[in-house]
Amino acid sequence: MKLSRREMLAIGASAIAVAGGASAFAATDAIMGFTGGVEVSEGGITITAPEIAENGNTVPIGIEAPGAEAVAVYADGNPVPNVAVFTFGELSPSKSASTRVRLAKTQNVVAVAKMADGTYTMSQAAVKVTIGGCGG
C-alpha cells in the first residue's frame, strides 16, 4: 500500500503538534522520498535525545535500529528537515549511530529505518527547545 502525504502526516502527529506548518510537510516529503511511498510501521527504533535541549544549536541524538539496513533521521521543525542517512553493512555489529543536530525550535526528531526485508519502520522523539533562564 502506498501512503499519501496526508496519511504520513497523521502518523507523525502522535508526538507533538508544535512543529506543524510548512516544515512538517517538508519532513513528510523527505520521508516519502526515502521510502518511495511504501507503508511505514511504527516503532522498532530507539531514539536517544534529551527531553529539553541544553543548547538547541547542538543537540546530541542517537538511534538504534536492530535489523536495519539504513536509517534516515529528520528534524521535522527545521527549515531543511533532512539530518542524515546512516547505512549499515551486514557485518555491522550494531545498527546504531549518534550525531549532533541543530534544532531551530521545539520539534520531533524522526527516524525511519529501512529493514533488510525491504519494509520500513519509523519512531520519533520530541525535543523541547527553550529560552530558559529562570530555574529556582
Site residues (vs another protein, CB under 8 A): 18, 48, 50-55, 60, 98, 106, 128, 130-136
Residue closer to another protein (CB basis): 69 or 76 = 76
For residue 131, the minimal CB distance to another protein (Å) is: 5
Calpha distance 29→102 (Å, rounded): 20
> Measured from the CB atom, is 52 or 85 closer to another protein?
52
Question: In which residue are the cell numbers 542517512 written?
Answer: 85
**Contact predicate 27/85, CB 8 Å:** no
- DSSP 8-class letter at 2: B
Q: Edge to edge, what strands does the sheet with 107-115 contain?
A: 40-42, 120-127, 107-115, 68-75, 82-87
Task: Pick the closer one to another protein by CB: 31 or 126.
Answer: 126
Question: Minimum CB separation from another protein for residue 106, in Å?
Answer: 8
Least distance (Å) between residue 15 CB and another protein: 12
